[in-house]
């Protein structure tokens, strides 16, 4: 066995390793090779230097500049496509609007949808847009970091994916005119959920599902935001919403017809 082979096999020397035949041969080599003994003895000096080095902490100003750069990068127009390689800016905007428009409905508990929407609207107006931007950035950041996704039109494959990712059985909206094209795991208000993007009449509508204990609630129009409509409902374990650039009546009809329960 050569010195190089022995050193490689026994590196790093402080790490325990199985006593395989080649390790035993390397140790035997070490016992008879002064050069290798010297090499490994010198290494203790490097190990000591490393222990000194690892006590260094990144200075606060460096930390600040690192995270500022990260935030600036994320805020660049069009950067999201590069990062996630799949979702369109449309879906990001949609998610953001959903957070602003439906967030209160989704998270404020069953039966509170009527009250929550006005509260959200007030907060947004009072902030003069700041609340909207914050929600947009928050959701953008979460979604840009690479949650799991699946591009498929196979309903069974999508159901399997969601069941695995969300830890519970999920039912898609089943309608001939709704074609699922993509599923993405997302985070809303700190909860892991999923969005299913459907093709509908040349447009896209997105179905959000967020596991959360909730009393069952029938579908209702939560609010319209420009061309964007939102319908929300709940089952015993999921808060759900359908969002799209179609009329709220159409969305409501899709939800009512597409639900199998």
Partner 1 sequence: MTRTIEDQVSLELDTLWQAALFLAGGEPRGAESLLVDTVVAASEDYLRVAMMDGASDAVERLMLRRFFDHTPWLPQGRALRGSRDVPEDVDDLLRSAGSIPPRSRAALWLVVIRRKPYVEGADILGIDGEELRGLLEHRETLMAGSHRVVTRRKEGSP
| Closest to partner 1 by CB, 72 or 174 | 72
| Closest to partner 1 by CB, 42 or 257 | 42
Interface pattern 123-152 for partner 1 (x via CB under 8 A): ------------------xx-xxxxx----
Interface positions, 75-114, toward partner 1 (CB under 8 A): 79, 82-85
Calpha distance 130→261 (Å, rounded): 40
Show the tokens assigned to 30: 């070490």
20 sits near partner 1 (criterion: CB under 8 A): no
Phi, psi of 23 (to 5 degrees): -65, -40
- CB of 182: closest distance to partner 1 in angstroms? 16
HSE-up (13 A, CA, CB side) for residue 17? 16
15 sits near partner 1 (criterion: CB under 8 A): yes
Calpha distance 84→162 (Å, rounded): 19
- Label residue 126 exposed, middle or buried (CB < 10 Å: 0-12, 13-18, 19+): exposed
Which 3 state secondary structure label does DSSP give 174? Answer: coil
| Closest to partner 1 by CB, 184 or 240 | 184
The binding site for partner 1 (CB under 8 A) comprises: 4, 8, 11-12, 14-15, 42-43, 45-50, 52-54, 56-59, 62-63, 65-67, 69-70, 73-74, 79, 82-85, 141-142, 144-148, 185, 192
């Amino acid at each position: 066995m050569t010195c190089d082979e022995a050193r490689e096999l026994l590196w790093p020397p402080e790490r325990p390793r199985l006593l395989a035949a080649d390790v035993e041969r390397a140790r035997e080599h070490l016992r008879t090779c002064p050069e290798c003994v010297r090499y490994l003895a010198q290494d203790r000096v490097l190990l000591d230097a490393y222990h000194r080095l690892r006590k260094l902490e990144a200075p606060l100003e460096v930390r600040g500049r690192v995270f500022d750069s990260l935030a600036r990068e994320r805020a660049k127009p069009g950067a999201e496509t590069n990062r996630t390689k799949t979702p369109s800016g449309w879906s990001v905007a949609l998610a953001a609007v959903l957070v602003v428009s439906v967030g209160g409905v989704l998270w404020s508990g069953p039966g509170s949808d009527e009250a929550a929407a006005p509260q959200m609207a007030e907060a947004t107006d009072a902030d003069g847009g700041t609340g909207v931007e914050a929600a947009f950035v928050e959701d953008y950041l979460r979604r840009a970091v690479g949650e799991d996704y699946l591009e498929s039109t196979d309903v069974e494959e999508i159901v399997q994916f969601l069941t695995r990712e969300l830890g519970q059985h999920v039912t898609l909206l089943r309608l001939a005119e709704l074609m699922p094209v993509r599923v993405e795991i997302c985070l809303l208000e700190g909860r892991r959920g999923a969005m299913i993007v459907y093709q509908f009449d040349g447009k896209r509508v997105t179905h959000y599902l967020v596991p959360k204990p909730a009393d069952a609630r029938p579908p209702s129009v939560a609010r319209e935001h420009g061309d964007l409509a939102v319908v929300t409902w709940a089952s015993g374990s999921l808060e759900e919403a359908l969002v799209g650039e179609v009329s709220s009546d159409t969305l409501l009809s899709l939800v009512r017809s597409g639900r199998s329960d």
